[in-house]
Amino acid sequence: MGRKSIAQQFENLESAGGKAFIAYIMAGDGGLANLKDQILQLESTGVSIVELGIPFSDPVADGPAIQEAGKRALAEGVTLKEVLTAVAGFKDEINIPIVIMTYANPVLRLGVGNFAALCEEAGISGVIIPDVPYEESAEFEVPLKDVDIALIRFVTLTSSKARMEEVLKTAEGFVYAVTVNGTTGIRDGFDDSLGAHLEAVRQVSPVPVCAGFGIKTREQAREIGAHCDGVIVGSRIVELLHAGQAEEIADLIPENAGIEKVRQID
């Protein structure tokens, strides 16, 4: 079975009138031996895409829950290469796209070309590198493009329309629209202008727009998802997995999101 297409996943959701629900997890939190079962469980719950975080010692975009998960994974000795090798071993059992979220340093240490090759072997569909600005992204983008893997673009609340147009003109996969100014982590609410911002990003973007950072409840996912093509939930899912409460992840997914839930509605 080949790489799972991000574009096809969004087409499937759109044709069923649904939204994407993207789940972030930290690879190796609890040990790499559990990674396959965690992804399969997310898939069976109705998650559309898995964003697989790589543990790193200086995670500048991550809030407390994900930082702690990264520390636990690092304590297990988990590396980027080990994660990709592990995923390569069970990729044919997974039926949803997997996107890698890593920082630049682990990729540079591995070698960008080697990283792209390992991602291809693992069936990875996209890569997110939050500490690489658009102006410096070619070093990563070109090797990934050579193996048909999307480098996911970011836009923030402070991005002007001109900046969004520049950054998104070559966007692939989906756009990661950051919903807050700051790091990841659970929040009680969002700025009243967020909906209008997400709609503005959609008008500019050639690919689907998904909103992430701070979403912790089904209600927030439903409310924010109404203005874009899907939502990304990380910290709350990481907390539930660590607490052994994976069954509660289903309670985060709105009725019109997630592949299985969309199929049920359809």
Residues acting as catalytic residues: 51, 62
* DSSP per position, 147-204: TT-EE-EEE-TT--HHHHHHHHTT--S-EEEE-SSS-S---S---TTHHHHHHHHHHH
3-state SS, residue 67 = helix
Residues 6 or more apart whose Cβ sits within 8 Å of residue 250 = 45, 46
Name the amino acid, one letter, at 187: R
Backbone phi, psi, residue 153, to 5°: -90, 150
> Side chain identity at 172, as an amino acid letter?
E
Neighbours of 111 (CB within 10 A): 12
Reduce the DSSP state of residue 231 to 3 states and report it.
strand
> What is the SS3 assignment for 115?
helix
What pairing do the DSSP bridges indicate for beta strands 175-178 and 98-101?
unpaired
Nearest to 124 by CA among 175, 85, 161: 85
Amino acid identity for residue 118 in this structure: L
Question: Whole-angstrom Cα distance, residue 143 to residue 125?
Answer: 14
